[in-house]
Structure 1
Amino acid sequence: MKRLTVGMLLGLAMTAAAAQAPYNAETTYRKLVRDYPDIRIASADIAAPVQVRKDLVYLQRGDLPLALDLYLPGPVGKPVPLVILVHGGGWASGQRSNLAPLASRLAARGYAAATVSYRLSGQALYPAAIHDVKEALRWLRQHAGSFGLDPARVAIAGGSAGGQIASLVGMTEPQAIRAVVNIDGLSDFTTEAARKHEDDPNKKPSAAGAWFGGRYAEKEALWREASPITHAGKDSPPVLFIVSGVPRFSVGREAMAARLAAHGIHTDTVALPGTPHSFWLFDPWLAPTVDAMANFLERVLGS
């Protein structure tokens, strides 16, 4: 049997990403509406006084500009806390506009929210996405004064793959990140429960395998390094977990919460029973997601 090289895996990932439907609210709605006929795609309409600064390039990587959209709560007379939002899509798809409804609703609650783009697995393997999100964090902190942001009150959040990325960035940048919100994202790639799906030999490659450039047996160090639980410790920020009714997507949550608790770090879990993965893209589930985030952020960052 021919052994797959990193280059071959990358090529397969790019082919798979090109062949599959893009990950966004519209394509996900078509998959879910039969089982959840009352769902509606959450509106991304912006209500005054929320203001948006779109297509802000935070980094140029060769010919690829990496950009973010910044949602601001309007003039408040003092610097406001910031939430960086990281989209999901199996590390291979998705776009920052997926989180526009969440960003606009957080801004209406008084929090600046930045939706960020990063290199997907078909463009660059792990840890490129992590480096990109950290560059966005640095850019936003450096330009905080220009947008009325408080660089001392920064949180990071994301859904699915974006939840894992956000949690990993938060655990490895504790001096800059004050709070983490992991929405239905993995906390530990290395557990048997996670590898059942992410290291399935019938997937050639799996989403995680394509991102790491190899299966667990070949790239164990990367799978472990990318697991947020690996970096959880005494200096970690508090974490809010918001989970769907599909446990496989939040594997490792209980162990990570326990590890943080052992260091006196606060965690909360808000479960939305009966919800599908990607619930945060839709009403009626976006409203309780925003409520949970706003309550947690007010406690950790202040209003």
Structure 2
Amino acid sequence: MGLVISLARSTWALSYAAFSFTSFVLTGFAIFGEKTPSRVANVILSITSNQYSEFPLIMFLLDILFQSWLSITGTFYVSPLARFFSYVNVITAAGIVYLFKRSLESKEVVAEFLGQISKQSKTNTELPGVTSPRFWKQFMNPLHWHQNFTLNDNIPYWTTKEQMHGLRTDGWESVLEMALDVYRPAKVEGGHDRPVLMYIHGGGWTSGSKGLLGPLVTEMIAQNWVVVAVNHRLKSKGGYPTQLIDCKRALRWIKDEVQTFGGDPLNVIVSGDSSGGQLAAMLALTPNDPQYQPGFENVDTSVQGCLVQSAMLDLIDANNYCAASGRERFIKEVALRQGSAESAENLAFMKEHSPLYKVEGSTVPFLVVHGDLDFCPVETARDFVKEFRKKSNATINYLEIPGGHHCFDMFSSPRTWYTTIAVTEWLNYNFNNEAAVGEKKTVRVHELVEWWHEDK
């Protein structure tokens, strides 16, 4: 019996050491956002360190529970390894407290952003704080999801001709990726002409799914927006720009069919995260461009607004902001093109598909959201905003989130919810027609703000 207990304690001590070391490393990455020369490593570190930057208190609680178990079982008393890592965890705990404090800094940034909007909309939006019970109920709930909607999923957006061509070139599995999901709020019916949020998922153009949705979709459903989440082919034999063309096909479907679900085909705002952000920006900046609309050249593919989050807006990365250059991967694995990524032809191709170089004359309002620790460098977002303001005829708003890593907005955390409030207000102010009352703009109180009023 003593041997069994000794083995169990050794196992617990080793597990605690592994957990503590991992927490120490990931907390460091969450704080400093260090980037490696490997894209794969950056993606993995971003996903894992996001657990600490977005849910620091939950990770702190897990450590407390683990330590409590080791104390109850007496492991601390017989294992120097466990005691050593308990001291390491003091450093980690300090880092986690810092991460929680940093996550609340986004409240100040969002408040300033909302102040700019309120000057135009003549409304004030109060943000929930840590003294609000509702802050802890929703902001600290990683599983929060709005339920009051109808989902019509896996609706194909191809024509019969496109379907048959896809079958011949890519196979049935790839053709099935040409589908979308429609989220219709319970209060919305056909013919209501509600604003439409078209969402394009991320995943480096070759992975991901329309089912990967963050809190923004939750909130827009609560705001009675119709949300259309779009898939595109991931590994078509033709390579990129197949993904862009597929997204334009999905937009064609929205223009033709979304009224059935209560959406307004003349009020479509395209959005996306990561590679989906690049596709959303390209879709907004190339309206009715026949080279990306084969077989449907005469279809109107203009949109009324564009929201991009954590997006790579300069594929060339001429200033070498990226620690891990993505040019070679984009040319070889995404576009499936021959030759070096540094060849004049391929550089020209990447420039053609970099939103940074497509802004001249654009009339589509933009909102760019980017975390300052994103491995898709924040400098590219800043450059895009500067270039847009110089060369575009439309407005652009920029929201830079302190401590935000790549696609942080996919996690239901305080940082994400503050960002979501800002994005929601921007969307409602600019595109929610029902918000207009005479000459005065008012934004419907959404559930987060309403909760703040209840606590007050």
Q: Same fold (TM over 0.5)?
A: yes
Amino acid at match of 2:157: Y
- Flag the 1:145–1:32 CA change in 2: closer, same or farther, 3 A: closer
Equivalent in 217, 237, 242 of residue 342 of structure 2: 217
* 8 A contact 1:184–1:277 mirrored in 2: yes
Alignment partner, residue 154 of structure 2: 55
Alignment match, 2:253: 139
1:88 Cα shift? 0.8
Q: CA deviation at 1:207?
A: 4.9
- Report how far residue 255 of structure 1 moved: 2.9
Give the 5 Å matches for 1:251-262: 251-262=379-390
Q: Distance in 2 between matches of 1:279 and 1:299?
A: 24
Percentage of pairs with the same residue: 22
**2:408 pairs with 257, 269, 279, which one?**
279
**Contact 1:104 / 1:113 at 8 angstroms: preserved in 2?**
no
Q: Is the 8 A contact 1:186 1:251 kept in 2?
A: no
Q: Is the 8 A contact 2:362 2:393 kept in 1?
A: no
- Do structure 1's residue 32 and structure 2's residue 74 form an aligned pair? no
Is 2:391 the counterpart of 1:265? no
Partner of 2:255, secondary structure, is helix
Deviations 1:91-110 (A, max 9, x none): 12111111164323211112
Cα distance between partner residues in 2 of 1:280 and 1:286: 5
What SS does the aligned partner of 1:286 have?
helix
Per-residue Cα deviation, 1:132-153 (whole angstroms, up to 9, x for no partner): 1110000011002211111111
Deviation of the 1:212 alpha carbon: 2.5
Confirm whether residue 206 of structure 1 aligns to residue 315 of structure 2: no
Instruction: Please give the secondary structure, in 1, of the residue aligned with 2:244.
Output: helix
Cα distance in 2, alignment partners of residues 112 and 208 from structure 1: 35
Q: 1:41 to 1:121 in 2, by over 3 A?
A: farther
2:185, 2:224 within 8 Å by CA — same for their partners in 1? yes
Are 2:354 and 1:227 equivalent residues in the alignment? yes
Q: How many residues align?
A: 276
Work out the CA distance in 1 between the residues paired with 2:407 and 2:361.
31
CA distance in 2, matches of 1:192, 1:121: 29
Q: Does structure 1 retain, via aligned residues, the 8 Å contact 2:370–2:381?
A: no
Write the distance in 2 (CA, Å) between the matches of 1:232 and 1:150: 26
Q: Check whether the contact 1:54–1:68 (CA below 8 A) recurs between aligned residues.
A: yes
Please give the secondary structure, in 2, of the residue aligned with 1:150.
strand
Structure 1 residues 294 and 32: alpha-carbon distance in aligned structure 2, compared to 1, 3 A threshold: closer
Q: Secondary structure at the match of 2:156?
A: strand
CA distance in 1, matches of 2:215, 2:222: 11
State yes or no: 1:161 paired with 2:290.
Answer: no
For structure 2, the 5+ residue unaligned runs are 1-39, 59-139, 289-300, 436-456
Query: Residue by residue, what CA displacement relative to the aligned partner does 1:187-217 show, whole Å, maximum 9, x if unpaired?
Result: 21222235653347xxxx5356421235531
Which SS does the other structure have where 1:142 is aligned? helix
CA distance in 2, matches of 1:286, 1:247: 14
Q: Distance in 1 between matches of 2:268 and 2:334?
A: 27
The answer to whether the 8 Å contact 2:210/2:229 transfers is yes
Q: Which moved more, 1:33-42 or 1:281-290?
A: 33-42
Q: 1:248 to 1:45 in 2, by over 3 A?
A: closer
1:113-168 CA distance string (max 9 Å, x none): 11111112465411000001110000011002211111111001111111111111
Q: Which runs of 5+ in 1 are unaligned?
A: 1-19
CA distance in 2, matches of 1:122, 1:244: 31
User: What code does the residue aligned with 2:335 have?
Assistant: F
Quote the RMSD (CA, aligned, Å): 2.8
> CA 1:97/1:44 → structure 2, altered by over 3 Å: closer, same or farther?
farther
Q: Name the CA distance, whole Å, in 2 between partners of 1:28 and 1:217.
A: 27
User: Which digits, 9 at most, give the CA deviation of each residue in 1:255-299, with x for residues without a partner?
Assistant: 322333233421111122112212011121332232122111122
**Contact 2:214-2:411 at 8 Å conserved across structures:** no
Contact 1:199/1:216 (<8 A) preserved: no
SS state at 1:95 partner: coil
1:178 aligns with 2:178: no
Distance in structure 2 (CA, Å) of the matches to 1:216 and 1:110: 45
Per the alignment, in what secondary structure is the counterpart of residue 212 of structure 2? helix
Query: Highest CA radius of gyration, 1 or 2?
Result: 2
Structure richer in helix, relative to its length: 2
Q: Which amino acid aligns with 1:298?
A: N
Q: Is the 8 A contact 1:88 1:161 kept in 2?
A: yes
CA contact (8 A) 2:215 2:417 kept: no
Alignment match, 1:239: 366
TM-score, normalised to structure 1's length? Answer: 0.80
Equivalent position SS for 1:52: strand
What's the CA shift string for 1:55-101, capped at 9, x where partnerless? 11112332222111111223346210101111111112111111164
2:213 aligns to what SS in structure 1?
helix
Amino acid aligned to 1:239: F
Shift of 1:182: 0.8
Stretch deviating more after TM superposition (66-75 or 101-110): 101-110
Bigger fraction of residues in strand = 1
Equivalent residues of 1:234, 1:260 under 8 A apart:
no
Runs of 4+ aligned residues of structure 1 deviating over 6 Å after TM superposition are none
